[in-house]
Structure 1
Amino acid sequence: MKKLFKNRRFSVLIMLLFVIGNAHAQTTNKDTVKSKEDFSDDWAALSHYAKENETLPPPTEGENRVVFLGSSIFERWKDADPAFFNNHAYIDRGISGQIAPQLLIRFRQDVIGLKPKAVIILAGSNDIAANKGHITYERIMDNIQSMAELATLHGIKVILCKYLPIYDYPWRKGLQPANKIIALNKLIEAYAIANHFTILDYFTPLVDERNGQKAELTTDGVHPNVAGYKVMEKVTEKAIQEALQ
C-alpha cells in the first residue's frame, strides 16, 4: 500500500513538473515572439539606412557631400562601381523597388539629416511599373516637387533626373513604358527649368532606337551594367559641378 502511494506521489510530481515546464516554455516562447521588433509600419524602409546614418559623421568643412536618392538603379550602382562613391563625398541612398512617395517619406532621414550640399532625385519608374498600384504622372510630380521644396527649404541644391530609357520591364511585361518615361521626363524637365534646378539627363546617353536602353549598357533593359554606370558617372559629375558652382 505504501509502495503504491509512493508511486502515485511520484507520478503526480512528474506530471506537475511537466505542466510547470510546459507552461514556462510557452511563456518563454510568447516572450520571444513579443520581443521581436515589428517593422510592418515601416512602409518606406526607414530602417534600411538608419544605422548607417547614425554612424555617418557630419560633413567636414568644404566637403561637397551629395546624396543619391532613388531605387534599384542607385542601390546597385555602389556595388557595380564602389570606387565612384568611395572616391567622392557621395552617399548612396537607393532602395530597390521604391516609388516616389516612399522616397518622400525617407527624405528627412536619408537626405536632410545627412546635411548634403546637393541631392540627386531619381524617381518615377517604379511608379510607372505599377509596383505598388496605379499612379498618375500628377502624383509622381507631386512627390518630386515636395522633395525639391524640402531640399530648397534646407539649403540643399536640387538635381532632378530625366529617367533612364526603358522599353519593357522584365517583371511586368507589356506595360509599354518607353513613351511613359519620355512623358514623365518632359514634366520633370519643365519643372526643373521653371524652378532653376539642375537637370541630370540619364535618358539621352543610354537610349537606343526603340527608346529602350542600349544593349551593351544594360543587364536587363532596366538596370545599367558597369559600362552603363560609367556613362552615367560622366553626366552625373557634370551635373554636380553645375549645381554646386
Structure 2
Amino acid sequence: MKYCLIIALLALCSDNNFAQQPAHAQKEDFSDDWAALSKYKNENAALPAPAVGEKRVVFLGSSIFEFWKQKDPKYFSSHPYIDRGISGQISPQLLIRFRQDVIDLKPAAVIILAGSNDISNDKGHVTNEGIMDHIKSMSELARLHNIKVILCKYLPVYEYPWNKSIKPAEKIVDLNNMIATYAKENNFTVLDYWTPLVNQRKGQKKELTIDGVHPNLAGYKIMQEVTEKAIDQALEKRK
C-alpha cells in the first residue's frame, strides 16, 4: 500500500510538471500580409523623427534596392537614406506600403523604382499603363505630404533568368518613356538608371551585373553617382 501511494504521488508530480511545460509557440502566419508590411514595421517604429535640417530620403522598390544595402551598406549608413526595398515586390505592393514605409517616415524625398517585377511575373494581364497607375498614385500621395518625388527609369533587362519566356527589353524602354513624360508634366525629378548600364541589346552591361537583372558592386557605384545628382536636383526644386 505504501509503495502504491509513492507511485501515485510520483505520477501526479510528473503530470503536473508536464502540464507546466510551455507549449511550443506556433510560427506566426503572415500569409494575410500580401504587401509585407511586417518586414519593416519594427525598424520604422524604432526610427527617430528626422533631425532639424536632415534631408531624409526613402528608397522604395524591390530587390534592386534591398540588395544595394547588402552590397554597399556604407552608402546608406553614411547618408540620411532609408532603404525600403523588398525583393520580388510588384508596384501595387509598393503602393500599399507607401504610407507605412514612406509617408510616416517623414522624408524630404522618395525615390520610386517600380515595374520590372510586374513585367517579369506577367501572365498576360500586366500593362505599362497599369504600372503607371500605381506610380502615379504613389507620386500624388508624396506630393500631398510635401515629399519630393524622384521617379526612376528602370534598369535595362534583356532577359529574366527565372522567366525566359518574357521579352522585357522594349517594354522597359516604353515604360521608361512613360515615366519620363509623366515626371516632366508634373515637375518630378527623373533618375535615369537605364542609360549608364545599358548595352547594345538593351540589357545590362556584363561587367556591371550578376545575372542580367541585378547590379554587382560596380553597377551600384555607377547608380550611386546618378542617384546623388537626382537627389540634389529634387531637393533644390521649389514646392
Taking structure 1 as the reference length, what is the TM-score of the superposition? 0.87
In 2, Cα distance between equivalents of 1:233 and 1:211:
21
Please say which of residues 129-138 and 111-120 is displaced more in the overlay: 129-138
Partner of 2:28: 37
Equivalent residue letter for 2:212: G
Matching of residue 87 in structure 1 with residue 87 in structure 2 = no
Equivalent residue letter for 2:215: P
Tell me how many residue pairs correspond in the alignment.
236
Correspondence 1:1-245 to 2 at 5 A: 24=19, 29=23, 32-33=25-26, 36-130=27-121, 134-245=125-236
Taking structure 2 as the reference length, what is the TM-score of the superposition? 0.89
Rate the CA distance shift 1:131–1:40 in 2: closer, same or farther, 3 A: farther
- Larger Rg belongs to: 1
Question: What is the alpha-carbon root mean square deviation over aligned residues?
Answer: 2.5
Deviations, residues 185-228 of structure 1 (Å, cap 9, x unaligned)? 11111111111100000000100000000001111100001110
In 2, Cα distance between equivalents of 1:177 and 1:136:
12
Structure 1 alignment gaps of length 5 or more: none
Report percent identity of matched pairs.
65
* Large movers: runs of 4+ above 4 Å: none
Q: Residue 133 of structure 1: CA displacement?
A: 7.7
Please say which of residues 77-86 and 223-232 is displaced more in the overlay: 77-86
In 2, Cα distance between equivalents of 1:37 and 1:108:
24
**Which structure is higher in helix share?**
1
Q: Residue 134 of structure 1: CA displacement?
A: 3.8
Q: Secondary structure at the match of 1:61?
A: coil
Q: Residue 28 of structure 1: CA displacement?
A: 5.9
Structure 2 alignment gaps of length 5 or more: none
Equivalent residue letter for 2:56: R
Deviations, residues 32-84 of structure 1 (Å, cap 9, x unaligned)? 33xx4332211111111111111111111111110000000000111111121
Q: Secondary structure at the match of 1:123?
A: coil
In 2, Cα distance between equivalents of 1:37 and 1:166:
36
